[in-house]
Amino acid sequence: MRIKREKASDQALREWLIIQAALLIGTLLLTTLHFCGVHVCLLKRLTGYPCLLCGGTRAAVLLLQGRLAAAFALQPLATLAMILGVPAAIAFFYLLFHKREVIHVSLSRREKQLCLAFALVLALLNWIYLLQTPSPARLKSWQIPLIWDAPNLDLDLDTDPDPGIYPDGTELKL
């Protein structure tokens, strides 16, 4: 593995800003839809099975509340990605805009294969965990309220007719 720092071009700055703006807009849109009761996971809607990142939004809220263990129990892979990704993005942002540098990581073919295999194993283990432990059971075991039931969120979400019922009809009893 080779890591190299070099000066960033204006093009790199523009690309970074466009990517970050798109991620922010997408995240805000998905979170708004989720708070309004619209669940956009196509796999879960069609098959009833959770996708690889089902529960990621709720895990992010739990992380913001400082409930690391509960977030990890709800969605381990997304929680790990947020814990590692946020500091990495901040460091990249600092280098790009303050130092005007970018970091290039070069991997050999073998290193790329190992990284891909590791990522696939993590994804598979996470998905098996999600399939074996339904969301209401994970929530109940950690006493995790639904987002619109959380008392410390200053949101007016009283439009949901029954916040204790999931869209698939299962009931959460705490």
Measured between alpha carbons, how far is 16 from 12 in angstroms, rounded to an integer?
6
- The predicted-structure confidence for 105-156, as pLDDT tens digits, reads as follows 888 999 999 999 999 999 999 988 888 876 655 555 555 454 444 444 443 4
Inter-residue contact 142 to 74 (CB < 8 Å): yes
The domain locations on the chain are 2-38+53-149
Each residue's pLDDT tens digit, 81-91: 999 988 888 88
8-40 burial: b if 16+ Cβ within 10 Å, else e: beeeeeeebeeeeeeeeeeeeeeeeebbeeeee
What is residue 112's predicted lDDT score, i.e. its pLDDT? 93
Residue 101 φ then ψ, to 5°: -130, 155
Q: What is the pTM of this model?
A: 0.62
The confidence score (pLDDT) of residue 157 equals 38
